[in-house]
Structure 1
Amino acid sequence: MKKKHNDHFLFYSESKTKNRITINGQEKQHAIAVLRVEDGEHIQITDGQGNLFVCEVESVLKSSIECNIVESWSVKRITPDVTIALGLTDRAHFESAIESLTALGVKKIIPVIFEHCRKPWWDKWRRYEERFKLKMISSMKQCLYPYIPELVYPTILKEVLEEDKTHMIVADPNGSTLKSEIRDKQTPVTCIIGPPGGFSATEISEFNRTKVVYVKLTPNRLRTELAATVLCAQIIGHTL
């Protein structure tokens, strides 16, 4: 009888052909060093696009693990589709945010350069892209929800507001309650979270020229990364 690996573990791979998947890099190292994966074992693998595969390990090689696909299926996305337009914080807090938002099931993360953003580490964005992806992969595997959010290059508020979204929410301490603003599970939502320094007068004017809804999250002021997590959780929780 073939050994089946614990269903609580999920591996990630982009190397898939019709009936085979290869695990390499850090995923391979984790499988061997930590989980002791062996030939003949059944493991679960995802491509990060909502697809799950039960695979039989054919061979554990020096640089990779070769697997045959035994069974596959797709997991339905959480609704509504949520995009988080996140004011850029320092890098550590930004990484914390993308990990939490991945676990919650957001579809897209847009880092936004607001006027009050500080310490422009994002000038070297390309240097950190692979690290950010690994953070999201780790979070995806931990929560067992097989989707990696789309993380785009940092942009400005004007570009976010010009996107054709049907429902746009701005986190604001003077806003209305979220319960009155979420209409249905089919309407995509874009949530805009300001940076630690808050919105500038110019940015508030841009909001006022656009069809946005201001939503109050809690009685207290929240850090940017926590506000993003709370708002996303409230939206998804409201439509369960």
Structure 2
Amino acid sequence: MANLYYAEGLSPDRFAVGETLTVSGEEARHAVRVSRLRVGEHILVGNGQGSLARGEVTLIEKDRFEIAVRESSHDIEPSQRLGLVQALAKGDRDERAVEQATEFGVDLIVPWEAKRSVSRWSTAGGGDKAAKGVARWQRVAREASKQSLRHRIPEVHQAVTTEALCELAQSDESTVIALHPGADIRLSEWATSERLSRCTQVLLVVGPEGGFGDDELAELSSAGAVLDSLGSLVLRPSSAGAAGLAVLNAALRRW
């Protein structure tokens, strides 16, 4: 299987067969020094925004390399976007959630500082801590995208509050679904109804280790969010989002 490298600045028209693509900077240095890239090797290069090329390495320098494009493909942005609103979790559990969601095809990821989140971005280090957290999630999503050979790297947004999440639930742009073990309706039931076909964007909300607070569930429900379960099992925050995405991917025939 060919390795994938990203060069986010490349425009789609550069991916035509016969063109030469240049990858530079840290991505190229890692390919040359760590992956031991060689002239003549066939690899993939993408811009992370839908364009992907398969080509042969023709030039290698210490901080850049070039490939001659042999094949190219362009992924059309889905008309129905799937997002994950992931509560901050202790350790690296939230980062594992980002990794798995990316592997399962999520389109956008939103950090959420829930009431019961052990990890805090807003109160520990202020804006600097939040910025570093978002940057860390972006790196995780990028690496998982390379592993999965994705045309598109999912967007990682700034962290939101419960109030902002309720505003999203009230808008016409998004359908917000809180994955809650105590919900009466299963996500698989909701996904096979006509409601999914009418959605342009579905945001799955996963709570922290301690679950949603009662007031959070009440606020989200009052704002128009749907409460769905993943069956009788209680999943970790790191795997619940991926499980929910699997249900929606199957219902939307992405898989």
Deviation track 1:27-47 (CA, whole Å, cap 9, x = no partner) reads 323422454333354421011
Question: In percent, how many aligned pairs have the same letter?
Answer: 26
AA partner of residue 14 (structure 1) = E
- Between stretches 116-125 and 172-181, larger displacement belongs to 116-125
Q: Which residue of 2 aligns with 1:114?
A: 114
1:60-139 matches, cutoff 5 A: 60-77=60-77, 80-121=80-121, 123=126, 124-139=129-144
State the 1:106 CA deviation.
Answer: 0.8
Structure 1 gap ranges (5+)? 1-6
Contact residue 29 and residue 62 of structure 2 kept, 8 A: no
Q: 2:237 aligns with which of 214, 224, 235?
A: 224
Q: CA 1:11–1:111 in structure 2 vs 1: closer, same or farther (change >3 Å)?
A: same
1:158-169 matches, cutoff 5 A: 158-163=163-168, 164=171, 165-169=173-177
Q: Which residue of 2 aligns with 1:4?
A: none
State the 1:166 CA deviation.
Answer: 4.4
Contact residue 173 and residue 221 of structure 1 kept, 8 A: yes
- Between stretches 77-86 and 167-176, larger displacement belongs to 77-86
Deviation track 1:107-157 (CA, whole Å, cap 9, x = no partner) reads 111111111212324641223444332222221111112211111111102
Query: Matched residue of 2:181: which SS?
Result: strand
Per the normalisation by structure 2, the TM-score is: 0.81
Do residues 12 (structure 1) and 6 (structure 2) align?
yes
Q: CA 1:157–1:230 in structure 2 vs 1: closer, same or farther (change >3 Å)?
A: same
Measured in 2, the distance between the counterparts of 1:149 and 1:186 equals: 22
Deviation track 1:71-114 (CA, whole Å, cap 9, x = no partner) reads 43212456741111111112511111111111111111111111
Measured in 2, the distance between the counterparts of 1:208 and 1:75 equals: 35
State the 1:25 CA deviation.
Answer: 3.8
Do residues 179 (structure 1) and 188 (structure 2) align?
yes
Do residues 191 (structure 1) and 199 (structure 2) align?
no
Measured in 2, the distance between the counterparts of 1:185 and 1:10 equals: 33
RMSD: 2.4
